[in-house]
Amino acid sequence: DFAILVRSHVQGSIIKKALTAVGVASVQQSQQSIFCTPEAEELQRILLAIIHFTDEARLRYALLSNILGYSGDDLLDLTDQAWDRLFAAFYELHHLWDKQGFMSMFQRFLRYFTVQERLLSQLNGERHLTNVLHLGELLHQQDRRQSYAMHHLLHWLKTQRQSSGNEEAQLRLESDENLVQIVTIHKSKGLEYPLVYCPFLWADESKAAQDTLFAFHHPESSEACLEAGSSERKRWAAITKEETDAENQRLLYVALTRPRFHCSLVVVSQKKSYFSSAIAKLLWSSLNVKQLFSSKSQADPYEVCNALLNELVADQVDCMATEPLYLPEIARHYQSEKTVVHYQARQFSMRPLIMQQQMSSFSALIAHSQQPYYEYTDQAVEKDWRDGQTAKLIDYELVENEIKAANHSEVIPISDFPTGARAGSCLHEIFEHLNFSQALEKQNETIILPTLEKWGYGISEQTAALDLLQQSLYTPLNTKHQALFCLAELENTQRCNELEFYFPLTQLTIHHLRRVLLSYLPDDWHLIRQACQQLRFDDLRGFMRGFIDLIYEREGRYGIIDYKSNTLASYDQKSLHQAMAEAHYYVQYLIYCIALHRYLRHRITNYTWDKHSDGVYYLFIRGLQMNQNQAIKNNDSPLGVFFHQPSAAFIQALDEIF
For every residue of 290-330, DSSP letters joined together read HHHTSTT--S-HHHHHHHHHHHHHHHSTTT------PPPPP
Q: How far apart are the first and last CA of the chain?
A: 71
CB 368 within 8 A of CB 537: yes
Residue-wise pLDDT for 313-362, tens only, equals 888 777 888 888 766 654 455 556 667 778 888 777 766 655 666 778 88
Cβ-in-10-Å burial (0-12, 13-18, 19+) of 442 comes to exposed
pTM for the model:
0.48
Mean pLDDT over 482-489 rounds to: 83
Q: Is the pLDDT of residue 515 over 90?
A: yes
Say what the pLDDT of residue 597 is.
96
Residue-wise pLDDT for 442-462, tens only, equals 999 999 999 998 888 888 888
* Least trusted range by pLDDT, from 31-40, 78-87, 324-333, 507-516: 324-333
CB 588 within 8 A of CB 563: no
Q: Is the pLDDT of residue 584 over 90?
A: yes
Q: Is the pLDDT of residue 371 over 60?
A: no
Q: Is the pLDDT of residue 490 over 90?
A: yes
Q: Is the pLDDT of residue 169 over 60?
A: no
Residue-wise pLDDT for 144-166, tens only, equals 887 778 888 888 888 888 775 55
Q: Is the pLDDT of residue 585 over 60?
A: yes
Say what the pLDDT of residue 517 is.
95
Say what the pLDDT of residue 148 is.
73
CB 490 within 8 A of CB 539: no
* Proportion of the chain above pLDDT 70, given as a percent: 83
Say what the pLDDT of residue 101 is.
87
Say what the pLDDT of residue 380 is.
34
Which one-letter amino acid corresponds to residue 618? Y
Residue-wise pLDDT for 399-408, tens only, equals 344 434 434 4
The residue ranking higher by pLDDT, 294 or 456, is: 456
Mean pLDDT over 122-148 rounds to: 84
Mean pLDDT over 57-71 rounds to: 91
**Cα–Cα–Cα angle for 74, 75, 81, nearest 5°?**
100
Say what the pLDDT of residue 289 is.
73
Residue-wise pLDDT for 406-432, tens only, equals 344 333 334 578 888 888 889 999 999
Which one-letter amino acid corresponds to residue 64? L
Mean pLDDT over 132-137 rounds to: 90
Mean pLDDT over 553-570 rounds to: 92
Query: Please, what are the domains in the chain?
Result: 30-169 (1.10.486.10), 194-315 (3.40.50.300), 360-413+487-657 (3.90.320.10)
Say what the pLDDT of residue 356 is.
65
Question: What average pLDDT is seen over the chain?
Answer: 81
Closest CA to 115 of 58, 69, 48: 69
Q: Is the pLDDT of residue 504 over 50?
A: yes
Mean pLDDT over 480-496 rounds to: 85
Say what the pLDDT of residue 443 is.
93
The residue ranking higher by pLDDT, 209 or 385, is: 209
* Least trusted range by pLDDT, from 283-287, 332-336, 559-563: 332-336
Say what the pLDDT of residue 176 is.
44
Say what the pLDDT of residue 625 is.
86
Say what the pLDDT of residue 633 is.
56
What contacts 24+ positions apart, CB below 8 Å, involve 106-110?
106/136, 106/139, 106/140, 109/46, 109/50, 110/136
Q: Is the pLDDT of residue 478 over 80?
A: no
Say what the pLDDT of residue 361 is.
85
